Structure 1
Amino acid sequence: MPKKFQDILPPKPKIPQWKRPVTSKLLLPPSANFNRYSGPSSPKPKNSFQTPLAATLVIFLLLIVFYASNIFDLKKKVAGVAPAVSDKFQTALESLLNLDIKSAKENFAAASSDIDSLKSEANRYGLTSIAETIGVVIPYVKSFPDLVKSVADLAKGTVDLSTDLENLYKNMLGWMINREGDQLIKSLSGMKDRVEKIGGLTATIMEAGSKIGDGLGPDLGAVNAKVKKGLGFLDSFLGWLNVSRNQHLLVLFQNPDEIRPGGGFIGSYAHATLLKGSLMDLDVRDIYDPDGQLVRKVVPPKALQRITEKWGARDANWFPDFPTSARKVSELLESSKIYNEQLVKFSGVVALNTEVIRDLMDVIGPVKLKDYNLTLNSANIIKIIQSEVESGEDKKAGQPKKILQVLTPIIFDRIGKLGDEEKKGLLLKLKERFQGKDIMVYFKDPSLEAYLKEAGVAGEIASLPNSFFGSYLSVVNANIGGGKSDAFVDQSIGLNVKIAKDGAISNRLVITREHTGEEEKEWWYKATNKNYIQVLVPLGSRLLKTTGATTKPAPVARNYKALGFQIDADVSGIEAAGAMFGKLVFANWLDVPAGEKKSLELEYLNPGKFDLSKNKKFSFIFDKQSGVNGILALEIELPEGYMWEATGSRVFKESYQGLLSRISLDLNLLEVSR
C-alpha cells in the first residue's frame, strides 16, 4: 500500500524538560472548576476492585456474626461442663491417692468423654480452624484451639497415668523381691515425666481458660496443686531409691491381740536392705534380740513401769501418732549393738498388723511347714504362730520366733510369683488395710512423709486448724500385762454431744469393753484384759465426772536418776502436761476379766462456747486407733430453735462400724423460723 504524505513526515522534536511550560492547574486554588462543560455530567468509570471488596466485607461480617453466635453458644457449654470436668479430675486424683485405680480410670475417662464432645462440637462448626481469623474481632477466641488441644492431651495423659499406676501397684513388690529394681526405677521415672507433662498442661489450660473465662482455669488450681505434690514425692522417692548405697527399712509386725497405742505389741520385726529398688536381704528377728543389746537405759512411760524397768523398742510404739512411734522405735533399735556397731540407720518404717498377714495368706494360699508338721492358712495362721511362740519347741530351745524366720521368706517368694488377677486381689485387700490403719508408713525424709500424710497412710493424729470449732475424740488402748486377751475383746464407743442455748458444749462418753475369751484353752487369751485407756479430747476441755474406772495401786518406785537412766523428752513432756499432739488426755484403767463386760463413762465440757448466731458449721473428728475395730455411736444435739441441715431435726445421729482411720464431719446448722 502506498504511503501517505503524513506517514513520512519527520518526527516531532522532543522538548527538554526544563523548556516545557508549567501547567496552570498547579497555580489555581483547589476550589477552581476545570469543567467548562455545562451539560449533563458524563458517567464516572467503575472501579473494578471496589465491588468485590465490599462483597467480601459483607460476607466476612456475616461469617463473624454466624461464628460468634456459635462461639458464644459453645462458650456457654464449656462454662457448664468445666466444673464437672474439673471435679472428675480431682476425684480421679483422690482415687489414685487411695489406691482406687478403677475409680480413677472411670473418672478420667468420663472427663475425657466430656472434653471429646466439646471438641466435636467445635469442629462441627469449624471453630478450631477459623479461630485465628475470628480472633481479630473476638480476641479470646485465639486461645480456643490451644485450650481444646491441651485439655484433650490432659485427659489422655491422666488416663495413661492411671494405667501406669495400676501397673506399678501390681508389680512393685514383685520387682523388689525378684531384684528387678531397675524396672521399678524405670516405671517411676516414666511416671515422673508424665506427671511433669500433666503439670505443664494444667498450667496452659489455666492460662488459656482465664482469657476465655470458661471457669475451667481456676477450678484446675486444686488439680495443679495435687500434681505438684505428686511430682515432689516422685522426685524424693526416686532420689531415695536411686542412691548407690544400701537403704534400710524397718518392717514392724504388730500384734493387736496385745494392743498398744501404736497398733499392737511388736513381738518381731524385719530389717529390709534395698539397693536401687531391689530387696537384697530380709532379716527377720525377735524384738528381744536388739533390746537385749541396747546400751541406752531409758525410763519407760509410767504405765509401763508396772511390767518393765527399762524402755525398749518392743514398747516404743507408745504413741497413737505413728510418725512419733516409728521414730522412737527406730532410734532405740539404732542404739542397739546389732545396728550401732554397723552404723545402720533406718530411712523408714512400715507397720503391719496381723490382719495383713491373714490377707496375704488368703491370696497366696496354704503354706506347708514340714519341719513343724503344720499347714498354715488365713484362718489358723495367727493362732498357730501364737501357740508356737508361747509354748512351742522353739521357745524351749530359746528361739520362740523361729517359725516367723522360716515363714516370712516363703510368703515373700509367693508374692513375687503371683499372677495378674492375684495381684489385683492383693491390691484391693491392701487398700482396705491402709484405710483401716492396719498398714502405716513413715519416712524420715520430710518430703516423702508429707506426701504420705496427704495420701492418708502415715497414721498421724489429726492437727486441728485454728478455725476448727467442734468436737474431737480418739480412744487409745494399751494392754499392760493382760496377755493376748484383746483377741477376744469387743469395744463400742458412744458419744453424746449437747450444745446448749448459751453455746456451752457438754459431752457424755461411754466406752464399753466385753471379754469373750472365757472358753479358750490358752491362758494368754483368757487372761484378764488389763487396759490403760487414754481419751484424747480438745485442748482446754474440763472433766466433770468419771465412772467405772479400775483403781490401781501405784507402781514400784525406782530411783531412775541414781540408776543412771535417761529421760525421754517426748514421754516426760506428755506426762507433765497431761496432753499430747495438741489434745488433752483423760487417762484411766479398765480391767475386764474373761466373760465380763465393763464400761468407763466420762462427762466433760468443751473449751469455749459455740456462738449459734455467728457459727453455722460444727465439726467433728474421730481418729481410730490402729488395730482396734468396733462401733462408734455418735449423737450431736442442738438446742430448741435450731436444726441440722443434714437431718432436718435437732439431732444428728450416726453409727459407724468397721471404722476407717479417720471420721471427719462438717455439719451445717439452720435456725428454725418461728
Structure 2
Amino acid sequence: MPRIPKKNISGVLSDIKPPAGGRRLPAGRHGISTPPKRTPSPRSAFGRGVRIESAPPPRTRTRFRTGRIALLALLALLLGIGVYGGLLYSEKGGALASMGAAVEAFKDSVRFFTELNPGEAKRSLESADKELKDIRDRGEQYGIWSVAEVGGKIWPTLERFPRAFRLVEALTRSAIEIAGSAEELKANGVAYFTSGEGGKLLGELESVRANAEKIRKLGEELTALSSDLESFVALPIPDNYLEWNTEFLRTEEFMDGVLALLGAPGERHVALFFQNPSEMRPGGGFIGSYADVTVERGAMKGLDVRDIYDPDGQLDEKVIPPKPLQAITTSWGARDANWFFDFPTSAQKVIGFLEASKMYKERGVVFEGAIAVNTDVIESVLELVGPVELPEYKLTLDAGNFLEEVQKEVEAGESKRVGEPKRILRDATPIILDRLGALDDAGKRALALRIAAHLEHGDITFYFRDLSLQNFFLAHGLAGAAADLPQPFFGDYLAVVNGNVAGGKTDIYMRQEVAVRSAIDVQGMVKTDVTVKRTHTGANARYSWYRATNQNYLRLLVAPDVKLVSLTGDTPKTVRAPINYEKNGYRADPDVVRLEANERESGKKAIGAWFTVKAGTTGTLRARYENPVPMPLADGGEFAVILEQQSGVRERIRYELEAPPGYIWREANDTRYVYESEDPPKRVMTTLTLKKI
C-alpha cells in the first residue's frame, strides 16, 4: 500500500464520525465538540469531492511560549531592578551621609546668619552641595536614578528615595542663593539704598523672598516623603524642622512687607527717632530729634532731620498730657509721647502727633512706621567709620565726644541762637551714612556684630503699621514690646521704667542697681521685695545740664494681680493740672487714662512714684508686694520669671527666688534660684520647675 504524503494529511484527525444525516449531539456535550463542517472540494485526498475543514490549530504551544517569554522578561526586569536596587541600597549610605551633611550645613548656616556672617553660611552650604553632586553623578553613571523610577512602578520606595535626594539638593541650592543674596546685601545694601540704586536692592530682596518660599515648600514635601520611607530609611529631618518652617514662612511674609514698602510706586515715609538716653523716657529716651526718611523704588529719596519741636509748633491737637508731664507742659505732643514702656504704643502716639501737625497734614504725609535709635548706636558707628569733620562748627565728632558735643551745640551753640538747635545732626547724618556704605568687608562684619549687640539690648527698635513687618519684629524681640503674659500667669514679672521730667540731661550719669527677692510660701503665695538704687555721678560734670538734680518718675511694672504692701524711699511730689482741661476742650487719651486710673500698662500693674536724686548722692527705693493668686504646688509645677530692661538704661540686676518648703528648683538643684548680670539683655525669660524633696 503506497504511503500517503504527509503534506496531504490533515492537521486534525478524527476517528469518530457522525452518521450521515444522523442526529448530532449538542456541542460540548459529553466532552465532544461540534464536528467540522463539510464542504465540497475537488482537492480532497479522500475523494467524493468532499473535504473536511480543519479546526483552528491548537494554541497551547504558542500560549506557552508567549507566557514563558513574558515570565522570563519579568524575571529579567526583577533581576535588573534587584541588581540596581542593590546598587541603590549600597549607595544609600553615601547618599544619606551627604543628605545629613546638607542638613548639618543648613544648621550651621542658620548659626552663621545669626552671627551676621552669610559668607560662611554660603561656603558651608556649597561644600554640602558638592557632596550631593558627587553622589548624584555616581547614581547617573550606573543608571540608578533612571532604573529607580521604573522600578518605582512595582516598588514605590525605589523611586521615593531618589526623589527625596533631589529635594535635599534643591533645598540646598535655594539656601545657597539666599546666602548669596544676604552676602550681597551685607556688602552693598546700604550703598544701594543711599545712592539711588534701589533696583539692585529690590532684586536681591525678591530673590531672598522667592528662595525662602522654595525652601519652605521643599521642606514640607521632604517631611511628607520621609514618612513613606520609614521602612526603607530614616531621612535626616531636623528635630526643629517645624520651627524652621515657621521661620521661613515669617521670612516670606516679612519680605512681602519690605518689598511692598520699598518697591511700591510713589513716596513712602518712615520716621527715624533719635533717642537721647541722657534724658530717659519710658520708651527709651527723649526724642529730641527725628528724621523723615522718604523712600521710593527701593532707594532713599530724601532725609529730612528735624527738631521734634518743629511739628509740635504746628500742632492744633488738644490732648491732656500724662499727669507727671503736667508739671512741665500744658498740652501733649510728639516731644513727650514716648511715655510708654511698650515701644509700639509710644511709636503710635508720636506718629499720630506728627501726622496731625500742619507740617505733614497739609501735604498728606503718612508715616508707614518708625525706627528708634539710641545715641549708643551712633557712637558705635563712629568707632568704625572714624571721626566726622564739621568745619562749619569748627568741630570733629567721634565716638568719645559725640553725645557731649552735640548736646552742647543743641543747648548753647550757634545753631540754637539761629533757631536751628538740631542742625548739627542734619549735617552729620548724611556723612555718616556715606561712610557706612564705604566700609570694607572687615568693617561691615564688625558693624553687623555691633548692630546685633545693640538689637539684643533694645537700642534699636521697630514699629510698622504693616502687620507682615511688625509680626516679624515682634517674633524676634526687635519691636521693643512689653512681653505678653499668659493667663493664668504663675510667676514673676518686673520692668523698672524711668521717666526724666525736667531732670536735665542727667541720666547719662545715673548708675542703677536692681535687687529682687521673691519667696513662695507653703500655700503657694509669692511675696516679693524690690530694691532700686540710683547713684548720680555727675556732681563734677563740665556742663550744668549734667549736674542738675535727676527728677525721675519711676514705674515698676509687675504681674497684673499683684497687691502693693509698702513703698519707701520715694520723693513726695504733687502735680496739679495747669489748666481746666475739660473747660478748654482738651481730650483724654485712652491709654493714658488706663494707665493712671486703673494702674494698668500693657497688661501689667503699674506702681508709680517720684524718685529724685541729687548730683553726688544715692537714692534707694523699696517696694514690697505679694500675689494673692496662689501657685499650685506639685512636683513638676512651673514658675515663669520674666525680667525686662528699659531701652537705653544700663543696670545691674540680681534676682533670687526661694522655692516653697519641701521643694527645690530642678534647674538649680537647690531651694534657691539666682540670676545676676552686670549688663542684661532687653528680656530675660526663664521657666523653673518644682521638684519635691
Deviation string 1:5-31 (CA, Å, 9 cap, x unpaired) is 989x999867799x976589x98879x
For the 8 Å contact 2:639–2:688, the answer to whether it is kept is yes
For the 8 Å contact 2:321–2:331, the answer to whether it is kept is yes
Equivalent residue number for residue 602 of structure 1: 623
For the 8 Å contact 1:74–1:122, the answer to whether it is kept is no
Letter in 2 for 1:171: N
Pair 52,568 (structure 1): closer, same or farther in 2 beyond 3 Å: closer
3-state secondary structure, aligned to 1:257: coil
For the 8 Å contact 1:90–1:223, the answer to whether it is kept is no
- Alpha-carbon distance in structure 2 between the residues aligned to 1:307 and 1:526: 19
Question: 2:532 aligned with 1:511, yes or no?
Answer: yes
Pair 507,100 (structure 1): closer, same or farther in 2 beyond 3 Å: farther
Aligned-residue offset at 1:668: 2.6
Equivalent residue number for residue 414 of structure 2: 393
Question: 2:432 aligned with 1:426, yes or no?
Answer: no
Q: Which moved more, 1:57-66 or 1:568-577?
A: 57-66
3-state secondary structure, aligned to 1:259: coil
For the 8 Å contact 1:316–1:329, the answer to whether it is kept is yes
For the 8 Å contact 2:115–2:449, the answer to whether it is kept is no
Aligned-residue offset at 1:56: 6.3
Q: Which moved more, 1:541-550 or 1:405-414?
A: 405-414
Deviation string 1:595-622 (CA, Å, 9 cap, x unpaired) is 1111111111124222121653221112
Question: 2:307 aligned with 1:290, yes or no?
Answer: no
- Normalised TM-score (structure 1): 0.86
User: Percent identity between the aligned chains?
Assistant: 34
Deviation string 1:385-409 (CA, Å, 9 cap, x unpaired) is 1111111122222222222222122
Q: Which moved more, 1:423-432 or 1:488-497?
A: 423-432
- Alpha-carbon distance in structure 2 between the residues aligned to 1:66 and 1:236: 50
3-state secondary structure, aligned to 1:543: strand
For the 8 Å contact 1:209–1:217, the answer to whether it is kept is no
Question: 2:191 aligned with 1:166, yes or no?
Answer: no
Equivalent residue number for residue 36 of structure 1: none
- Normalised TM-score (structure 2): 0.84
Question: 2:225 aligned with 1:204, yes or no?
Answer: no
3-state secondary structure, aligned to 2:565: strand
- Alpha-carbon distance in structure 2 between the residues aligned to 1:266 and 1:468: 34
> Which one of 179, 185, 202 corresponds to residue 185 of structure 1?
202
Equivalent residue number for residue 450 of structure 1: 471
Deviation string 1:480-533 (CA, Å, 9 cap, x unpaired) is 111000010011111112122221111111111111111112111011111111
> Which one of 623, 630, 634 corresponds to residue 655 of structure 2?
634
- Alpha-carbon distance in structure 2 between the residues aligned to 1:318 and 1:347: 20
Equivalent residue number for residue 553 of structure 1: 574
3-state secondary structure, aligned to 1:653: strand
> Which one of 255, 264, 267 corresponds to residue 243 of structure 1?
264
Deviation string 1:294-315 (CA, Å, 9 cap, x unpaired) is 1111110001111111111011
Deviation string 1:308-345 (CA, Å, 9 cap, x unpaired) is 11111011111111111111101101111111111111
For the 8 Å contact 1:210–1:217, the answer to whether it is kept is no
Equivalent residue number for residue 175 of structure 1: 192
- Alpha-carbon distance in structure 1 between the residues aligned to 2:338 and 2:398: 28
Equivalent residue number for residue 169 of structure 2: 152
- Alpha-carbon distance in structure 1 between the residues aligned to 2:140 and 2:652: 56
3-state secondary structure, aligned to 1:389: helix
Equivalent residue number for residue 33 of structure 1: none
Equivalent residue number for residue 562 of structure 2: 541
Aligned-residue offset at 1:208: 0.8
Letter in 1 for 2:594: G
For the 8 Å contact 2:178–2:207, the answer to whether it is kept is no
For the 8 Å contact 2:636–2:689, the answer to whether it is kept is no
Letter in 2 for 1:169: K
Equivalent residue number for residue 465 of structure 1: 486
> Which one of 495, 509, 512 corresponds to residue 491 of structure 1?
512
Pair 553,338 (structure 1): closer, same or farther in 2 beyond 3 Å: same
Q: Which moved more, 1:396-405 or 1:47-56?
A: 47-56
Aligned-residue offset at 1:106: 8.2
Equivalent residue number for residue 502 of structure 1: 523
Equivalent residue number for residue 271 of structure 1: 292
For the 8 Å contact 1:507–1:603, the answer to whether it is kept is yes
- Alpha-carbon distance in structure 2 between the residues aligned to 1:246 and 1:629: 38
Letter in 1 for 2:506: S
Letter in 2 for 1:151: V
Number of aligned residue pairs: 649
- Alpha-carbon distance in structure 2 between the residues aligned to 1:435 and 1:579: 26
Matches within 5 A, 1:650-669: 650-669=671-690
Q: Which moved more, 1:389-398 or 1:539-548?
A: 389-398
Pair 480,472 (structure 1): closer, same or farther in 2 beyond 3 Å: same
- Alpha-carbon distance in structure 2 between the residues aligned to 1:467 and 1:72: 51
User: Gaps (5+ residues) in structure 2?
Assistant: 19-27, 33-63
Letter in 2 for 1:502: Q
Equivalent residue number for residue 375 of structure 1: 396
3-state secondary structure, aligned to 2:226: helix
Letter in 2 for 1:515: H
- Alpha-carbon distance in structure 2 between the residues aligned to 1:305 and 1:336: 21
Deviation string 1:215-260 (CA, Å, 9 cap, x unpaired) is 7288533322221121111122212222211001111111010000
Aligned-residue offset at 1:292: 0.9
Equivalent residue number for residue 299 of structure 1: 320
- Alpha-carbon distance in structure 1 between the residues aligned to 2:99 and 2:520: 41
- Alpha-carbon distance in structure 1 between the residues aligned to 2:29 and 2:586: 119
For the 8 Å contact 2:256–2:468, the answer to whether it is kept is no
Question: 2:311 aligned with 1:311, yes or no?
Answer: no
- Alpha-carbon distance in structure 2 between the residues aligned to 1:87 and 1:617: 33
Pair 304,113 (structure 1): closer, same or farther in 2 beyond 3 Å: farther
- Alpha-carbon distance in structure 2 between the residues aligned to 1:523 and 1:252: 25
Q: Which moved more, 1:131-140 or 1:420-429?
A: 131-140
Letter in 1 for 2:674: K
Aligned-residue offset at 1:587: 0.8
For the 8 Å contact 1:71–1:127, the answer to whether it is kept is no
- Alpha-carbon distance in structure 2 between the residues aligned to 1:72 and 1:167: 36
3-state secondary structure, aligned to 1:350: strand
Pair 498,101 (structure 1): closer, same or farther in 2 beyond 3 Å: farther
Equivalent residue number for residue 544 of structure 2: 523
Matches within 5 A, 1:473-488: 473-488=494-509
> Which one of 642, 648, 651 corresponds to residue 669 of structure 2?
648
For the 8 Å contact 2:187–2:441, the answer to whether it is kept is yes
For the 8 Å contact 2:277–2:286, the answer to whether it is kept is yes
Deviation string 1:178-236 (CA, Å, 9 cap, x unpaired) is 01111111111111221122122112201211212337288533322221121111122
For the 8 Å contact 1:140–1:212, the answer to whether it is kept is yes
For the 8 Å contact 1:207–1:217, the answer to whether it is kept is no
Pair 139,606 (structure 1): closer, same or farther in 2 beyond 3 Å: farther
- Alpha-carbon distance in structure 2 between the residues aligned to 1:15 and 1:70: 60
Letter in 2 for 1:200: K
3-state secondary structure, aligned to 1:592: coil
Letter in 2 for 1:365: G
Letter in 2 for 1:441: F
Q: Which moved more, 1:641-650 or 1:54-63?
A: 54-63
For the 8 Å contact 1:366–1:375, the answer to whether it is kept is yes
Deviation string 1:427-454 (CA, Å, 9 cap, x unpaired) is 2211111111111111111111111212
Aligned-residue offset at 1:159: 3.4
> Which one of 205, 208, 212 corresponds to residue 195 of structure 1?
212
- Alpha-carbon distance in structure 2 between the residues aligned to 1:12 and 1:105: 84
Q: Which has the larger radius of gyration?
A: 2
For the 8 Å contact 1:86–1:219, the answer to whether it is kept is no
Pair 457,57 (structure 1): closer, same or farther in 2 beyond 3 Å: closer
Q: Which moved more, 1:186-195 or 1:418-427?
A: 418-427
- Alpha-carbon distance in structure 2 between the residues aligned to 1:152 and 1:523: 65
- Alpha-carbon distance in structure 1 between the residues aligned to 2:386 and 2:572: 47
Question: 2:435 aligned with 1:411, yes or no?
Answer: no
- Alpha-carbon distance in structure 1 between the residues aligned to 2:147 and 2:316: 78
Pair 64,611 (structure 1): closer, same or farther in 2 beyond 3 Å: farther
Equivalent residue number for residue 361 of structure 2: 340
Aligned-residue offset at 1:645: 2.3
